[in-house]
Amino acid sequence: SFREFFGDTDTSSTYFKSQLSSQNRKEFSQPKEKLFELDGRLLPVEDSERVMAYIHKIHMTPEFINTFGVHWTHYAKMKFIGETYTTFIDRLCIPVYDEQHKLCNMIGRDFTEKQKHKELYPIGSTTDVFFNWNNINLSREIILVEGAKSLIRLWSMGIKNVVSSFGASLGKNQI
C-alpha cells in the first residue's frame, strides 16, 4: 500500500508518495501544508536488480535504506512548491530532513554511473543543512564528511554519528 505524506492528491499531480515494502521502513510524519511535489513514481529499491547491484557496490545497507527511506525512480519530476521541476532519471532518491524533521532536500543519486551529474537536487531545496543531522547524538563525537556517498560508506562500517555537508564549502547555517 502507498502512504501519502505531503498533502492530498488531486487530478493534476501526484504528491510525494512512498510504497512501504517492509515493516521496518521509516514512517514519515505528514505536514499540514504541502511542501514537495512529485510527478512520477518512487519505487522500493528491492524492485530493481540494477538498483540493488549499485546499492551493493556502494555498500548501502538495508538499515540505511530503512532509516532514510531510500527509493528509486526511472523517471520522475520533483519540485518544492513554488519552484520549477527537476527531472530525475534513473536515480536513487534519498530524503533529507532538517533538525525539526522537515523535508528540506531530496538527493537524486545516479545509479547508472553514466549521467553527467552524479547527484541532483530539486530546485528550491537547500544544501545549507547537514545530511543526517536529524539522527545525530549530540553527546557523542560527530564526524563531518563532504558527500552523501562517504556518509553511506561510514554507515556500512557501523559509524552512524556522521553528517554530510553536501560539498567542500559550508553554508551559513552549517557554521
| Residue pLDDT, tens place only, 60-100 | 999 999 999 999 999 999 988 888 999 999 999 999 888 88
Return the exposure string of 34-57: e unless at least 16 CB atoms fall within 10 Å of the residue's CB, then b.
ebbbbebbbbbbeebeebeebbee
**pTM over 0.75, yes/no:** yes
Residue 130 is placed in which grid cell?
Answer: 547537514
Give φ, ψ of 37 to 5 degrees.
Answer: -125, 140
Between 75 and 101, the higher pLDDT residue:
75
What pLDDT was estimated at residue 16?
28
Q: Which residue has the cell 513554488?
A: 82
| Residue pLDDT, tens place only, 133-144 | 989 999 999 999
Residue 101 is placed in which grid cell?
Answer: 524533521
Confidence check: pLDDT of 5 > 80: no
